[in-house]
Amino acid sequence: MYALKTLLVKDSFLALVDQVISSGTNFCLTLFIAQKLDIKSFGLYSSVLLIMYLLLSVNNALVIQPFQVTIAKTKNREQYITALFFGILILLFFVLIGIALFFQFFNGKVLFQINSGAVIWFTIGFLINDFFRKLLLGLSKIKRVLFMDILFLILAFLFLVVKQINLSQVLLLIGVMNIVSTLPGFVFIIKNYEKPILWRLFVIDHLKQGKWLLSVAILQWCSSNFFILISGIYLGIEALGALRLVQSFFGIINIGLQTIENYFLPKIASIYANNSLKAKKYLLKLTIMGAIGFSIMTSLFFIFSDQIIVLAGGEKYQHYGFVIKMVALLYFFIFLGYPVRIMIRVLMLNKVFFTGYLLSFFTSLASFHFLLKYSGLYGAVTGLIMNQVIMILYWQYQLNKKQFQLWK
Q: Please give the pLDDT value at position 256.
A: 65
Q: Please give the pLDDT value at position 259.
A: 64
Residues composing the chain: 408
How far apart, in whole angstroms, are the C-alpha atoms of residue 92 and residue 181?
Answer: 18
Q: Please give the pLDDT value at position 110.
A: 44
Q: Please give the pLDDT value at position 174.
A: 92
Query: Phi/psi of residue 340, each to 5°?
Result: -65, -45
Distances (CA, A) of 56 to 46, 65, 285, 324: 15, 11, 30, 26
Q: Please give the pLDDT value at position 4.
A: 46
For residue 190, count CB atoms less than 10 angstroms from its CB and return exposed for 0-12, middle for 13-18, buried for 19 or more. Answer: exposed
Best CA proximity match to 23, nearest among 183, 180, 130: 130
Q: Please give the pLDDT value at position 151.
A: 92
Best CA proximity match to 211, nearest among 350, 323, 366: 350
How far apart, in whole angstroms, are the C-alpha atoms of residue 248 and residue 30?
Answer: 7
* Amino acid identity, position 66: P
Count of C-beta atoms within a 10 Å radius of residue 141:
17
How far apart, in whole angstroms, are the C-alpha atoms of residue 367 and residue 365?
Answer: 6
- Is this prediction's pTM over 0.85? no
Helix, strand, coil shares of the chain as percentages rounded to 5?
Answer: 90, 0, 10
DSSP letter at 74 equals: -
Q: Please give the pLDDT value at position 7.
A: 47
Query: Phi/psi of residue 225, each to 5°?
Result: -115, -5
User: Which are the contacts of 189, defined by CB distance < 8 A and separation ≥ 6?
Assistant: 81, 82, 85
How far apart, in whole angstroms, are the C-alpha atoms of residue 305 and residue 37?
Answer: 22
Q: Please give the pLDDT value at position 403.
A: 67
Largest CA distance in the chain: 63
How far apart, in whole angstroms, are the C-alpha atoms of residue 17 and residue 83?
Answer: 29
For 103, the 3-state DSSP assignment is: helix
Best CA proximity match to 38, nearest among 221, 165, 208: 165
How far apart, in whole angstroms, are the C-alpha atoms of residue 42 and residue 171?
Answer: 11
Best CA proximity match to 270, nearest among 71, 12, 19, 9: 71
Compute the Cα dihedral for 294, 295, 296, 297 and give only its sign: positive
Count of C-beta atoms within a 10 Å radius of residue 117:
14
Best CA proximity match to 246, nearest among 11, 30, 397, 71: 30
How far apart, in whole angstroms, are the C-alpha atoms of residue 273 and residue 70?
Answer: 12
Best CA proximity match to 346, nearest among 288, 408, 274: 274
pLDDT block averages, 10 residues each, the chain of length 408: 52 74 82 83 84 87 82 79 88 89 68 76 93 86 88 86 82 92 90 80 79 77 76 76 79 66 74 79 78 80 84 80 85 82 80 83 85 83 88 87 67
Query: CA dihedral defined by 322, 252, 224, 367, rounded to 10 degrees?
Result: -20
How far apart, in whole angstroms, are the C-alpha atoms of residue 117 and residue 143?
Answer: 33
List the alpha helices (DSSP H) in 139-195.
Answer: 142-156, 158-161, 167-181, 183-191
CB 345 within 8 A of CB 337: no
Exposure on the CB side of residue 330, measured as CA atoms within 13 A: 24
